[in-house]
């Protein structure tokens, strides 16, 4: 039986790079995003490269609990087991705490935190039953250091790290591992139009490779947190 990885926010950036790497190494891939055209194109690309594997890509707004749960149940119906869950989907909306528009806080909390909470509550019990599995939560350096003009985003990423720690404690005796990944500035669509040169960013492929390497450690080891920054450090 081929192993299966489930990734939210699969069509761009880090999610896309993770899917490519794991598909290349023989994994079935389930994923979701909000852009149907991009989903269909990426699924077709992977299917053409790896016709012996299964790919389930679904349209899903992860800020909507019902969408997340529907996607989760579709995945568990399709695949006998889920080996890896990557809670990757996220949104960054700049703004200050006292001045951002009403609703911005809820949008980022639902997308960046609640989606991981609801999806993990469906998938983790399946992993517990199979006595193995690995959940990766894509946090941020914003999880450990607030910065100006990133108010609700920083709050949501702080909370996601707290969620990872709590989940790790609960799953510790079950054989299911939990890893919080804290990337600094990574060259994704979030930085579209930036004046910063490419070499100032982490590559999305580096994050994907880190997840691959961590997952391939023995079952005796769990990397609880990994902090990855650009070689030249964070932007001032």
Say which CATH topology domain 4-228 has.
Rossmann fold (3.40.50)
Are 9 and 57 contacting, i.e. CB atoms less than 8 angstroms apart? Answer: no
Q: Report pLDDT digits (tens) over 117-146.
A: 999 999 999 999 999 999 999 999 999 999
pLDDT attached to residue 200: 76
Tokens coding 235: 């932007």
CA distance 73 to 38: 22
CA distance 86 to 21: 13
Per-residue pLDDT at 191 exceeds 70: no
Tell me the torsion sign for CA atoms 26, 27, 28, 29. Answer: negative
Are 39 and 57 contacting, i.e. CB atoms less than 8 angstroms apart? Answer: yes
Q: For the chain, which residues make up each domain, given as ranges? A: 4-228
Three-state SS at 164 = helix
> Alpha carbon 70 to chain centroid distance?
18
Per-residue pLDDT at 189 exceeds 60: yes
């Amino acid at each position: 039986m081929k192993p299966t990885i489930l990734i939210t926010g699969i069509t761009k950036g880090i999610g896309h790079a993770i899917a490519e790497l794991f598909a290349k190494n023989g994994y079935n891939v389930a994923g979701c995003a909000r852009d149907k055209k991009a989903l269909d194109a990426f699924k077709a690309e992977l299917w053409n490269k790896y016709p012996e594997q299964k790919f389930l890509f679904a349209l899903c707004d992860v800020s909507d609990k019902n969408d997340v749960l529907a996607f989760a149940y579709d995945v568990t119906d399709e695949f006998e087991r889920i080996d890896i869950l990557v809670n990757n989907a996220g949104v960054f909306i700049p703004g200050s705490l006292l001045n951002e528009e009403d609703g911005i806080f809820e949008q980022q909390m639902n997308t960046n935190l609640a989606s991981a909470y609801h999806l993990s509550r469906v998938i983790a019990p399946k992993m517990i039953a199979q006595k193995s599995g690995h959940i990766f939560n894509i946090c941020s350096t914003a999880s450990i250091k607030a910065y100006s003009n990133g108010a609700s985003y920083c709050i949501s990423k702080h909370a996601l790290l707290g969620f990872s720690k709590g989940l790790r404690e609960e799953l510790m005796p079950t054989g299911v591992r939990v890893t919080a990944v804290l990337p600094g500035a990574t060259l994704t669509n979030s930085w579209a139009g930036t004046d910063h040169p490419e070499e100032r960013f982490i590559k999305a492929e580096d994050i994907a490779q880190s997840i691959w390497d961590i997952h391939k450690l023995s079952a005796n080891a769990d990397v609880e947190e990994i902090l990855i920054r650009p070689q030249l450090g964070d932007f001032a």
